[in-house]
Every structure is written in structure tokens, then in C-alpha cells.
Structure 1
Amino acid sequence: MDTKLKVLIHGTGFAGQGHADAFRSAGAEVVGIVGRTPSVLAEVAAKMEIPYSSTDWQAALQTCKPDIVSIATPGGAHYEPIKQAIEFGCHVFSDKPLTASGETSAELYQLAKQKGVKTAFAASFRYMAHILHAKQLVASGAIGEPVEVECISHFNLERDIPFGWSHRKEDGGGRLNNNFTHMISIVTSVIGEKILAIAGDVRDDLGKAPIVEGVHNFKTRRDFIPKDLNDPALEWGESNVEWSYTVLAKLESPFASKPVSALFKHGGLTPKFDENHIVFYGTKGAIFIKGHYGMGPLYFWDKNETWQELPIPQEIAEDLPNITGDTERNWHFLAREFVKDIRGEAFTPYPSFKEGSQYQQLIDLIRNNNNWTDVSHLQ
């Protein structure tokens, strides 16, 4: 395949612009962009030198005839554009969550399989350097058989971030959609992709958020927090989704004879006292990575029963895109491998709609919150 693959972007915010940069870096041609707000759309298309822009997704598909579409809008707006793109015969790269429900995510996964198009799902923090290193260490037997994983994070997010999609279940909001999707992808990439069992609890400890106009970029939403939160004229929107979660999972691992236990504990609004972290425990050692998404550094508990900081192996460092920003670099990594696959070249396996569909069905189960046994009657 000698001609450049053509990419159409859906979304003009941080993710849309990041996806466009990632595909250009991968050697594809960004031929168009679709957005909701004409003024923002025109500004972004001009800034990024994208030749075609439209507020009409179907018209853009017909006009641009893309090989790949990149979906970079909030999760609640994914279903129809993805379905239309698949039916049009496009390969699809989608940010998380895949859709707002397990049912619609499963439908899109099956439709993509039937149409024979390739899909990529951007639960892409599995490409952090220290996560790739941990994967290498576990596969080499450095910690023996893995037995347990612990993922702990507290974000202390501002409670008064303007009301928007992140507050609404139907729009793809919630910490499960926007944090757990990355965490489960990280853990399965290291331990093994087969999830055997799941249980969880969620909590909405936010309640409400101020309604503010003008927020178009998720990364700059903090800039719109009202200065006077006691203003009687201020309107408030009600959150209907979780801001904290606790999930337990059992994973099958090719490196272990028994299922591996995994704990995912996340508080979106609560402060951390010590480092957020990810730990992989084994029968002969352990790997501790600082940072909620494995930012590092990485420490290895060895046979001498001491923690030693390990540097990133040179081959991993050299394979990472030379991009500032963890989110952006991970998009570049995933887009690069996706393009290689489409072009028929050797590629590193990546998460697809199979994982996106599975994760969304898991999230539905966790949100049902029916894992409790009533013991109030016990004496």
C-alpha cells in the first residue's frame, strides 16, 4: 500500500486535535474534521491546516471517503457516527468509552466484525514506558508467578468543574468510563487479557456542578469554574454517575497456575496522602510503579528483599514516539500500530472494539452494584 491512508476526525477538542497529530505522525493524511460548533470548527481546521470541515458527519463521510475515521467526542456521542462509519466501510479508531452502554458497544463490535473493518480502542495508557517494562519483566518470570495486582489512585478533582458530559452517564461520563478503562487495559496487558470474574462498588460523592457556557476543550474546563459559587443566578446540574469506585477482578494469566487477583481503587474527588501506584506481586518478587497510570519510576523487589529502582530498557525507550505528554504519546503509539496493521505491516497488538465492548459490559455490571450481601440481621 503506497498511497497515504485518509483519515476523517470527529471532534475538535483536545482529543480530536491529538488524534489528528497522531495519525499524521503515523504517515496518514488527515483529510477532514467534523465538529458541533461552527466557529470552533473553523478555528481548529484553520489552525491544524485540515482542508475539509463540516458539522454534518454523513456528508463528511461521503465527501472525504476516508479509509479511517477517528472518534474523539465524548462517549455518549459515539454510537451513531461509529455505526455510520462502519457501514461506510471505514476502519475506526475510537477514544474511550466506546459507547455509553455495554449493549450498544457489543453491537458495534459485532458490526465491525461482520463488515471486516479493523478497529482500535484508545485505552492506551498500556503504552506507558514503565508498563511496557513491567510487561517484559512479568513475561520473563522476574516475579515468579503473578498472584495479585493493586491499583490505587486519588485525584482530588475540583468539585466545581463546570457541568458537562463527564457528569452524565448517558453522555459517557463517570470515573469507570474515563479511568477504569485505562486501568483494566494496563493490568490485562501485563497479566493476561482474559477476565474471569468481576465485582465492584461505585459512589457519586459529587452531587451537582455549576452550569457554565463556553467550555469546548476538556483540558481547559477548570478555567471556567465560576469565581462566585454563591451567586444566586448560577444554575446547577445534577450528576448521575460515579466519582469513586472499587473493583475486584480475577484474571487468567499465561504466567500463573491460578487466577490472579486485581484490586482497582479510585477516588476522583478525594486527596492522596502518599503516591498513587500500581503494584504487581508475584511468588518470587514484586514490581511497584509510582503514578496512577504508571508514570514511574519503577521499583523491583528482588531476591535480596530490597526495592531497587530499574531504568527503562533502551529498546523500550527507543520504540516510544518522541512526544511530550503521556496522553498524546500513547495516542501516537496506538495510531502507529493501527496504521501498520491496516497497511499489512508487522505491528504490536493493540486494544480493539473487542476490549472496548468487553470493558463497557463490565462497567454496566459494576454499576448495577448488586454484589452486596445484607448482614444487618446478624447478631
Structure 2
Amino acid sequence: MSQKLRVLVHGTGFAGQGHTDAFRFGGAEVVGMVGRTAAVVSEVTEKMGIPYGGTDWQQALIDCKPDIVSIATPGGAHVEPIKQAIAQGCHVFCDKPLTESGATAKELADLAEASGVKTAFAASFRYMPEVLHAKKLVAAGAIGEPLEVECISHFNLERDIPFGWSHRAEHGGGRLNNNFTHKLSIVTSVVGEKILSIMGEVRDDLERAPIVEGVHNFKTRREHIPENLDDPELKWGESNVEWSYTVLAQLESQYAGKPVSVMFRHGGLQPRFNEDHIVFYGSEGAIYIKGHYGAGPLFLYGKDGEWREQPLPEEISADIPHIEGDTERNWSYLIRELLQDVRGEPVAPYQTFREGAQYQQLIDMIRENRNWVDVSRLN
């Protein structure tokens, strides 16, 4: 395949612009971008030098004739554009969550496989350098058999961030869709991809958020928090998603004789006291990575009973895209894998719509909150 692969991007915000840069980094040509608002599309396409801009996705598919589409809109707006792209024979790169529900996510995974198109699901923080490092250490037996994993994070998000898609389940919001997907991807990449069992509890501590017009970029939404939250004219939108979750899982691992226990604890609105972290405990040691998504540094607890910081191996440093910003670098890593696959080049396994559908079905189960045992009558 000598010519550059042609890419059409759906979404004009932080993700759409980030996907554009990542596809260009991988050697593809971004031929068009589609968004909801004509003025915003015009501004972004001019700024980024994208030749085609529009608000009609179906027409853009016809006009641009892309090889690949990039879905960079909130999860609740994914289903129909992806169906239309698959019908055109396009390969699809989609940010998380894949859709707003397990049923629609599975429908898309089945459709993509039946149509023979390639897909990539961007729960992409598994490509953090120190997560790749932990994967290498576990595979080398540095901690013996993996036994359990602990993922702890507290974000202390501003409660008055303007109301939007992140506050509504039907739009793809919630901390499970937008935090847990990355955490689960990180842990499975290190320990093992097969999820055996899961249970969880969720809680909405927010309940409402102020409605503010003109918020187009997810990354800059904090700049739009109203100055006077007591203004009687201010309107409020209702949250119907979780802002905190606790999930327990068991994973199968080729490095362990028994299922590996995993605990995910996240408080989206709660302040942190100690550092967010991910820890892999084994029969002969442990790996600690600082940061909610494993930004590092990484420490290894060995047989000498000491925690020692480990330098990032040169082969990992040389392989990751040297791009500023964790999110942008991880997109570039996964997009590079997808582009190689589409070109027919050898590539390591990466997450597809099948994993995206599995994650969404798991999130549906966790949100049901049916794991409680009533013990109120016990003496």
C-alpha cells in the first residue's frame, strides 16, 4: 500500500484534534473533519490545515472516501456514525467508551467482524511507558506469580464543571466509562487479558451541574464554571452517572496458577491524601507505579525487602512515540499499531471493538449494583 491512508475524523474538540495529530504522526493523511457546529468545524479545520470540513457525516463519507474513520465524539453519539462508516468499508478507530450500552457495543463489534473491517478501541493508557515496563517485569518473573492488584485514585474534580455529556449515561458519561476503561486495560495488559469474574458498587455524589452555553472542548470546560453559582437565573442539569466506584475482579494469568484478584477504587470528587497508584503484588515481590494511570516512577520490591526505583528500559523508551502529553502519546501508539495492521504489516495484538463491547457489558453489570447482601437483621 504505497499511498497514504486517508482518514476522516468525527469530532472537533480535544479528542478530534488529538486524533488528527496522531494519525498524521503515523503517516496517514487526514482528509476531512465533521462536527456539530459549522463555525467550529470551519475554525478547527482552518487551524489544523484539514482540507474538508462539514456537519453531515454521511455526506463526508461519500465526499472524502476515507480508508479509516476516527470517532472522537462522546460515547452516546458513536453508534450510527460507526454503522455508516462500516457500511462504506472503512476501518474504525474509536475512543472510549465504545457506546453508551453493552448491547449497542456488542452490535458494533459483531457488525465490524462480519464486515471484515479492522477496529481499534482506545482504552489506550495501557501504553504508558511504565505500564509497558511493568508488563515486561511480570513476564520476566520479577515478582513471581501475580497474586493481586490494587488501583487507587482520587481526582477531586470540580463539582461545578458545566453540565455536559460526562454527566449522563446515555451520552457515554460516568467514571466507569472514562476512568475504569483505562484502568482495566492497564491491568489486563500486564496480568492477563481474560476476565473471569467481576462485581462492583457505584455512587453519584454530584447529582447536578450548572448549564453553560458555549463549551466545545472537554479539556477547557473548567474555564466555563459560573462565577456566581447562587444566581437564581442559573439553570441546572441532572447527573445520572457514577462519580465514585469500587470494583473487584478476578483475572486469568499465564503467569499464575490461581486467578489474580484486582481491586479498583476511584473517587472522582474526593481529594487525595497520598499518591494515586497501581500496585502488582506477587509471590516473590511487588511492583508499585505512581499515578492513577501509571505515569511513574516505577518501584520494584525484591527479595531484599527494599523498594527500589527502576529505570525505564531503553528498548521501551526508544519504541514509544516521543510526543508531549500522556493521552496524545497513547493515541499515537495505538494508531501506529492500527495503521500497520491496515497496511498488512506485522503488529502485536491490540484492543478492538470486541474488547470495547466486553468492557461496556461489564460496566452495565457493575452499574446494576446488585452485589449487596442485606445483613440488617443479623444478631
The answer to whether TM tops 0.5 is yes
**What CA deviation, in whole Å up to 9, does each residue of 1:119-165 have, x standing for no partner?**
00000000000000000000011100000000000000000000000
Name the residue aligned to 1:83. 83
- Within-5 A mapping of 1:43-62: 43-62=43-62
Q: Which residue of 1 aligns with 2:302?
A: 302
- Residue identity matched to 2:128: M
Shift of residue 243, structure 1, vs aligned partner: 0.2
User: Which residue identity does 1:258 align to in structure 2?
Assistant: K
The 5 A counterparts of 1:89-128 are 89-128=89-128
In 2, the alpha carbon distance for the partners of 1:349 and 1:4 equals 23
- Separation in 2, partners of 1:56, 1:38: 10
Distance 2:134 2:376 in 1: 43
Structure 2 residue 225 is matched with structure 1 residue 225: yes
Q: CA deviation at 1:115?
A: 0.2
**Which residue of the partner structure matches residue 162 of structure 2?**
162
SS of the residue 2:197 aligns to: strand
Alignment-mate amino acid for residue 156 of structure 2: N
Corresponding residue for residue 33 of structure 1: 33
Q: Distance in 2 between matches of 1:354 and 1:145?
A: 28
SS at the partner of 2:332?
Answer: helix
- CA distances 1:176-227 after superposition (whole Å, capped 9, x unpaired): 0000000000000000000000000000000110000000000000000000
Is it true that 1:239 corresponds to 2:230 in the alignment?
Answer: no
1:302-346 Cα distance to aligned partner (Å, 9 max, x none): 110100000100000011101000000000001101100110112
Counterpart residue identity of residue 78, structure 1 = H
The equivalent residue for 1:188 is 188
> Deviations for 1:70-106, whole angstroms, at most 9, x for unmatched residues?
0000000001101111111100000000000000000
Distance 2:128 2:229 in 1: 38
Identify unmatched segments of 5+ residues in structure 1: none
Residue of structure 1 in register with 2:150 after alignment? 150
Q: Following the alignment from structure 1 to structure 2, what is the Cα–Cα distance between the partners of residues 341 and 349?
A: 10
After superposing on structure 2, the runs of 4+ consecutive aligned residues of structure 1 that deviate more than 4 Å are none
Distance in 2, Cα, partners of 1:345 & 1:354: 21
Shift of 1:348: 2.6
Partner Cα separation in structure 2 for residue 205 and residue 294 of structure 1 = 26
User: In structure 2, what residue type is equivalent to 1:134?
Assistant: A
Separation of aligned partners in 1, 2:303 and 2:83? 52
Of 124-133 and 340-349, the range deviating more from structure 2: 340-349
Residue of structure 1 equivalent to 2:353: 353
Q: CA deviation at 1:251?
A: 0.2
Count of residue pairs the alignment pairs up: 379
Matches within 5 A, 1:294-373: 294-373=294-373
What residue in structure 2 maps to residue 276 of structure 1?
276
Other structure's SS at 2:99 match: coil
Whole-angstrom CA distance in 2 between matches of 1:8 and 1:236: 35
Residue segments in structure 2 that go unaligned for 5+ positions in a row? none
Measured after TM superposition, the shift of residue 284 of structure 1 is 0.3
**Whole-Å separation in 2 of the counterparts to 1:276 and 1:348:** 29
Instruction: Show the counterpart of 2:176.
Output: 176
Q: Once the 2 structures are TM-superposed, how far is the Cα of residue 350 of structure 1 from its aligned partner?
A: 1.2
Shift, 1:349, TM fit: 1.9
- Give the TM-score normalised by the residue count of structure 1: 1.00
Measured in 1, the distance between the counterparts of 2:86 and 2:198 equals 30
Distance 1:207 1:99 in 2: 22
1:374 paired residue number: 374
CA root-mean-square deviation: 0.5
The one-letter code matched in structure 1 to 2:163 is F
Distance (Å, rounded) in 2 between the aligned partners of 1:267 and 1:212:
25
- Displacement of 1:257 in angstroms is 0.4
**SS in structure 2 of the partner of residue 19 of structure 1:** helix
For residue 363 of structure 1, give the secondary structure of its aligned residue in structure 2.
Answer: helix
Code of the residue aligned with 2:146 in structure 1: it is: P
* TM-score normalized with structure 2 length: 1.00
Identity %: 72
Amino acid at match of 1:262: V
Paired amino acid for 2:100:
A
Q: Distance in 2 between matches of 1:31 and 1:47?
A: 14
Which amino acid in 1 is paired with 2:247? Answer: V
